[in-house]
């Protein structure tokens, strides 16, 4: 009897002292909507042309709230629900980018480019990063994903809209000393204007009035202009 009690006591001590795996480490990383509150937000600002102005708020419950402000096809508020796959990809990329590591403002010397504002949320905490040109590539990749998800739900956000005229767009790379706004002012009769600044090498999306000129004619005209490096059709 004494031996049995001793054996049971020894067994209990051994089990109690055996290291247990961290329970939290066994929990899978959440990739599905689980709570309320905001996850990430993108807001685009104005430019002197027809840059689309909108705000995208991605929430932790798996919904996206779109606010169309100006020069967009849809003005006003619309809410859509992301698929499980979309939310998982979004969450993965938000964590990968780690917006918290970047300064509140990205410096740039480019003028007339719209300000893009990125905000990440963690409970009551949030961190905002603003920039025009020169935004780090990881943030730009995340912005592309946000736009892709939004447009997959039938909301166009990439192409600036002017309700007064029928327009089309081309992509133009100018010499570095060319001001896109001043260049476009030469063609006021064609309603030529800068729509979106694409990169630091002075590449822009340029819009024009299709009732006045065809795309082929406009591209030919641009190629002959001093200060234009390349010009090609826009797929958007």
Average pLDDT along the chain: 82
Domain ranges of the chain: 38-152, 167-233
pTM: 0.60
pLDDT of 25 > 70? The answer is: no
**Rounded to an integer, what distance in angstroms lies between the CA atom of residue 160 and that of residue 152?**
17
CATH topology of domain 38-152: Mago nashi protein (3.30.1560)
pLDDT tens digit sequence for 92-148 = 999 999 999 999 999 877 766 789 999 999 989 999 999 987 889 999 999 999 999
Domain 167-233: state its class: alpha beta
pLDDT of 45 > 80? The answer is: yes
pLDDT at position 20 is: 44
pLDDT at position 65 is: 97
pLDDT tens digit sequence for 163-198 = 555 578 899 999 999 988 788 878 866 778 887 788
């Amino acid at each position: 009897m004494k031996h049995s009690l001793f054996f049971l006591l020894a067994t209990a001590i051994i089990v109690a002292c055996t290291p247990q795996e961290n329970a939290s480490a066994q929990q899978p990383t959440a990739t599905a909507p689980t709570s309320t509150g905001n996850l990430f937000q993108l807001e685009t600002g104005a430019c002197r042309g027809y840059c689309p102005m909108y705000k995208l708020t991605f929430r932790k419950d798996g919904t996206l709230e779109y606010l169309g402000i100006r020069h967009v096809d849809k003005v006003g508020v619309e809410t859509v629900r992301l698929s499980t796959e979309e939310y998982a990809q979004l969450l993965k990329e938000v964590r990968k980018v780690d917006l918290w590591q970047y300064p509140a403002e990205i410096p740039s010397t480019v003028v007339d480019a719209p300000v893009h504002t990125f905000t990440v949320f963690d409970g009551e905490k949030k961190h905002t990063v603003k920039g025009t040109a020169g935004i780090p590539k990881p943030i730009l990749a995340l912005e592309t994903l946000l736009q892709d998800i939004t447009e997959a739900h039938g909301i166009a956000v990439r192409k600036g809209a002017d309700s007064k005229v029928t327009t089309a767009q081309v992509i133009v790379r100018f010499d570095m000393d060319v001001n896109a706004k001043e260049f476009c002012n030469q063609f006021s009769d064609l309603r030529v204007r800068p729509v979106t600044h694409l990169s630091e090498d002075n590449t822009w999306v340029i819009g024009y009035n299709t009732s006045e000129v065809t795309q082929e004619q406009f591209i030919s005209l641009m190629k002959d202009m001093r200060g234009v490096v390349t010009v090609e059709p826009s797929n958007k």
